[in-house]
């Protein structure tokens, strides 16, 4: 089974790329979605988050309190790394389970959508496509999602640069322009990297 990794910084449009591949028929495992699951009420990561960040880090329903935890970690890189380490552990357990199921079904190719390309992600993937985007476009997109501009700038600043992402990937998609431009770049990679491997998409 060919595992195609898609990664990129917040607001870059990696979910757009994964969504297009999903529309073309490839199964997508979304690490953000799994992250929400493991930090929700009764999620695998909740107890460890409470232990690390205190009772206020968990809300009355028993889920991670996103507002409290965001305020802590997006002002302190060490605490952000701590949170990432906790969540990643449980996210990758779930990803491994899903990959096993897809492999047993005889799936030829699966897309793994992960925002932070940690070593485990890199090791899992046969190939990685990095989605990049100009900072001003990313800020605009994040503001459209409801973030304050200062929050958007801070969150982008806490992540790796596009160059750091690119150093870990095999191919780059620039999503600073139109959706048609992105699809054109993707079509080239789909034909050269997937269709050539016998993956129907």
pLDDT of residue 153: 94
By residue count, the chain amounts to 201
pLDDT of residue 183: 98
Mean pLDDT, the chain cut into blocks of 10 residues (201 residues total): 97 96 97 94 95 95 95 88 92 94 97 89 95 96 93 90 94 97 98 95 89
d(CA 1, CA 109): 5
CB contact at 8 A, 15 and 145: no
Q: Which phi-psi region, left, alpha or beta, contains residue 40 (left: φ > 0; alpha: ψ -120 to 50)?
A: beta
Q: Is the torsion defined by CA of 65, 66, 71, 74 positive or negative?
A: positive
Residue 173 is classified by DSSP as E
How far does the chain reach from its first CA to its final CA, in angstroms?
A: 15
C-beta atoms surrounding 14 within 10 Å: 27
pLDDT of residue 74: 82
d(CA 167, CA 180): 26
Per-residue burial over 111-148, b if 16 or more Cβ lie within 10 Å, else e, is bbbbbbbbeebeebbebbbbbbbebeebbebbeeeebe
pLDDT in tens, 113-152: 998 888 889 999 999 999 999 999 999 999 999 999 998 9
pLDDT of residue 76: 87
Using CB atoms within 10 A of its CB, is residue 60 exposed (0-12), middle (13-18) or buried (19+)?
exposed
pLDDT of residue 120: 87
């Amino acid at each position: 089974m060919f595992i195609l990794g898609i990664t990129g910084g917040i607001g870059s449009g990696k979910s757009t790329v994964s969504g297009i591949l999903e529309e073309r028929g490839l199964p997508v495992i979304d690490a953000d979605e799994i992250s929400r699951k493991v930090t929700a009420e009764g999620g695998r990561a909740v107890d460890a988050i409470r232990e690390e960040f205190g009772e206020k880090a968990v809300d009355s329903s028993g889920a991670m309190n996103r507002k409290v935890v965001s305020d802590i970690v997006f002002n302190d890189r060490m605490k952000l790394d701590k949170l990432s380490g906790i969540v990643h552990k449980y996210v990758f357990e779930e990803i491994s389970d899903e990959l096993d199921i897809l492999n047993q079904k005889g799936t030829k190719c699966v897309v793994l959508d992960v925002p932070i390309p940690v070593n485990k992600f890199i090791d899992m993937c046969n190939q990685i496509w990095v989605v990049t985007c100009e900072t001003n476009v990313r800020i605009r997109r994040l503001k459209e999602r409801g973030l304050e501009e200062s929050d958007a700038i801070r969150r982008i600043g806490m992540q790796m640069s596009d160059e750091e992402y690119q150093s870990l990937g095999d191919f780059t998609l620039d999503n600073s322009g139109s959706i048609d431009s992105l699809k054109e770049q993707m079509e080239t990679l789909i034909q050269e990297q997937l269709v050539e491997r016998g993956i129907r998409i």
